[in-house]
Amino acid sequence: MPRLRASILAAGIVCTIVLPEAEAADQAEKIPNFSYADMGWFPVGDDFLPPVSGPGPVVSDPAHPYYSNQSGKQPTDRVADLNNPILKPWAADRLRKSNAIVLAGKVPFNPRETCRPAGVPDFDIFSRLRPVYFLQTPRQVTIINEGDQQSRRVYLNVPHSKAPKISWYGESVGHYEGDTLVVDTVGLTDKTFVDNYLTPHTTDLHVVERYRLGQDGKTLDLDITVEDPGAFNMKWSARQRYRQMPQEKMQEAVCAENNVDFFGQGYFPVPQADKPDF
């Protein structure tokens, strides 16, 4: 009898039994490969792309458009559009205060520039200048942003804990659906933000990410769904896209050693602690 298939002939009926090993091998062939030692995935931008349809993420106020350092235009700081219907009143008020700081010409708070963890889903737009790497194993996918080597661990084919411990990156579990990696994250601290406009959330934040290779194999498309009844009036979606670019190796990029307010501009300090937060 062959190792993976057994045929049974009885009463003129041929039955083929597929053993678990065959199913596992077939599944392995479908799993997409995001892992490269000499290639990095660079986000196309540090703002979310709008969804194909439905409610979308917070974007810049049309009266104060955001331009990054790579836009070719005079860079600006972010001013959030407070008219987005997804926002609960308290969340809009928090953004209004952040907007006021920017419009007054003051130095705005930025988690990335002060060496704080990005959280989810802000991790997906945290920095457009540093690549993201994937390390895929049968039980876990590790996603690493080269900037400060911030890492996420996605545990495969297991359920969420009954009471996930609140942390900077929460608890992520995942599975493959054909050629798509699906990541489900809960248990996120409310010290993080969902985007670079500093849109707040509660500890009930629930994020689902779907990673899928583009047809050319050199782009990575990400669809994101966000829900948090405490901060948002409705579930909303966003997109991100990564481009594959050659890299010699992952570089060490330590944030805290390069973050000093040399000119007394009033930058928010890098956090310090005598004991771990979690």
- Dump the DSSP string for 216-239: TSSEEEEEEEEE-TTTBSS-EEEE
Distance CA 36, CA 150 (A): 18
**Among the listed ranges 6-10, 32-36, 72-76, which one has the minimum average pLDDT value?**
6-10
Q: Quick one: 24 and 65 in the same domain?
A: no
Domain that holds residue 9: 1-30
Confidence of residue 261 (pLDDT cuts 50, 70, 90): low
Asked if residue 273 belongs to a domain, the reply is no
In a domain, 192, yes or no: yes
Could you tell me if 55 and 180 lie in one domain? yes
Q: Are 171 and 165 in contact (CB under 8 A)?
A: yes
- DSSP-based helix, strand, coil % in the chain, nearest 5: 15, 30, 55
162 and 225 both lie in a single domain = yes
Both 175 and 97 in one domain: the answer is yes
Average pLDDT, integer, range 242-258: 80
Q: How many domains does the chain have?
A: 2
- Contact between residue 189 and residue 118 where contact means Cβ atoms under 8 Å apart: no
Question: Which amino acid, residue 3?
Answer: R
Instruction: Please tell me whether residues 81 and 142 are part of one structural domain.
Output: yes
pTM of the model: 0.84
pLDDT of 46 over the 80 cut = yes
Same-domain pairing of 156 and 24: no
**pLDDT above 70 coverage of the chain, percent:** 83
Residue 114 in any domain: the answer is: yes
Residue 152 domain-assigned (yes or no):
yes
195 assigned to some structural domain: yes
Structure tokens at 129: 């200048």
If asked whether residues 213 and 91 sit together in one domain, one would say yes
| 184 and 54 in a common domain | yes
**DSSP three-state, residue 89:** helix
**Selection from 103, 110, 135, 137 nearest residue 125 by Cα:** 110
DSSP H helices in 118-260: none
Residue 3 has pLDDT above 50, yes or no: no
Residue 264 lies in a domain: no
Query: Taking 70 as the threshold, does the pLDDT of residue 267 lie above it?
Result: no
pLDDT of residue 6: 41
Residues 67 and 20 both lie in one domain? no
**Rg (alpha carbons) of the chain, rounded to whole number:** 22
User: Is the pLDDT score of 107 beyond 50?
Assistant: yes
Distance CA 76, CA 93 (A): 21
Q: How confident is the model at residue 113 (pLDDT cuts 50, 70, 90)?
A: confident
Place of tokens 């689902």: 208
Q: Are residues 107 and 241 in the same domain?
A: yes
